[in-house]
Amino acid sequence: MLRDYSGRVRQAGYAPHVALFMVQVMFGTWPIFGKIALRALPPTALVALRVTGAAVAFLILQRIMGSVRVVGRKDFARLTLYSILGVALNQFLFVKGLSYTTVVNATILGTTIPIFALLVCLFLGLDRVSLRRILGIILAAAGVIYLVDPMRADFSANTTLGNLLIIANSLSYGAYIAISKDMLKRYGALAVITWIFVIGTFFTLPAGVWSLAASDSVSRAGAYIWLAVLYIILVPTVGAYYLNAWALARVAPSTVAVYIYLQPLIAFILAPLLLQEPLNSRTWIAALLIFSGVAIVSRRTRSVAIEEVAEHPDALSH
């Protein structure tokens, strides 16, 4: 029986980590294609297109897989909070913050997301702290900081507002990761993510429409711009948010959060291929640190995993 449980744990245990790695690949391409789209579209409009397009795509996907699942009335307040933290506020703060600070600053400050997620979990009693997790987070954060080279960062008064907005963005997304696990387990990833983006549309669409009306972006945007927008909607939004939610329902929030450290690494690797930006030797050293940190945080002992299967054997059938 123990051997059977062990095999089932390994089979079930790898899937969330594969999904989380794919999430970071998808999210890692977002700033690259976002940079292309922003050549013609205002940031607020791009956020609105991303959120609204994803909401439509998730609704269609739900209709294909069955009727749209209705959540309990008492849970709509929580869904609204998740939508504000994980979609509307998160994206607006990042885009606005990036306009007032540098990419290097934003990348360095983005390493605080797993720290905020862990702190919120600890404050609410949703996760347990361990020396292994702390060391893993520090190691992965060190890899990101080394990758972007802090000596290039600009923390002058000119970037203060932007830096504060990026930190607020990190807190917002970290809190979303920390508190959304319970509902994802109860209703399923697709239902929760669909409602989060549908609600998010009400926050982002009005500002996006106003932004487009105040500019001549639509007339200046060529086919490649709209292809970039379509990619942003389908891959680093629909695909990434769904897989991230699916994995979050199966592993600890701190594990989901620490995988975020892979995003800048993936972006640094893909940028030379898609944007002809230079790639240097720092990437490979940073990769070693980041992958080591992620591996340390995501590693689970065999006995704990088997104990969870013994308590919830039906969880492996979903």
CA distance 89 to 48: 12
Q: What is the pLDDT of residue 50?
A: 94
Give the H or E element holding residue 274. Answer: helix 262-275
Residue 316's pLDDT is 27
User: 73 with 177: CB under 8 angstroms?
Assistant: no
pLDDT value at residue 172: 96
Asked if 200 contacts 57 with a C-beta cutoff of 8 angstroms, the reply is no
Number of domains in the chain: 1
Please answer whether residues 118 and 111 qualify as being in contact, where contact means their C-beta atoms are separated by less than 8 angstroms. Answer: no
Hey, how many other C-beta atoms are within 10 angstroms of the C-beta on 134?
15
Q: Token pair for residue 88?
A: 């509307």
pLDDT for residue 272: 59
Extract the residue ranges of the chain whose pLDDT is less than 70. Answer: 1-12, 67-68, 103-104, 129, 147-148, 150, 152-155, 267-268, 270-283, 298-318
By C-alpha distance, which of 17, 10, 44, 47 is closest to 30? Answer: 47
Angle 95-140-172 from CA coordinates, rounded to 5°: 35
Helix (H) and strand (E) counts in the chain: 17, 0
pLDDT of residue 314: 32
What tens digit of pLDDT does each residue of 133-187 get? 788 888 878 887 776 676 766 667 777 888 889 889 989 999 999 999 889 988 8
Whole-angstrom distance, CA of residue 41 vs CA of residue 263: 24
Q: What does the block give as tokens for 46? A: 């791009």
pLDDT at residue number 86: 94
Which range of residues forms the domain containing residue 55? 2-317
Q: Which residues contact 132 (CB under 8 A, 6 or more apart)?
A: 296, 297, 299
pLDDT at residue number 142: 84
* Cβ-based neighbours of 105, under 8 Å, separated by 6 or more: 153, 154, 155, 159, 162, 163, 166
Helix (H, G, I), strand (E, B), or coil: what is residue 129? coil
**Residue 273 confidence (pLDDT):** 62
Task: Write out the two tokens for 190.
Answer: 């697709």
Residues 43-61: pLDDT tens digits? 899 999 999 999 999 999 9
State the pLDDT at residue 279: 55
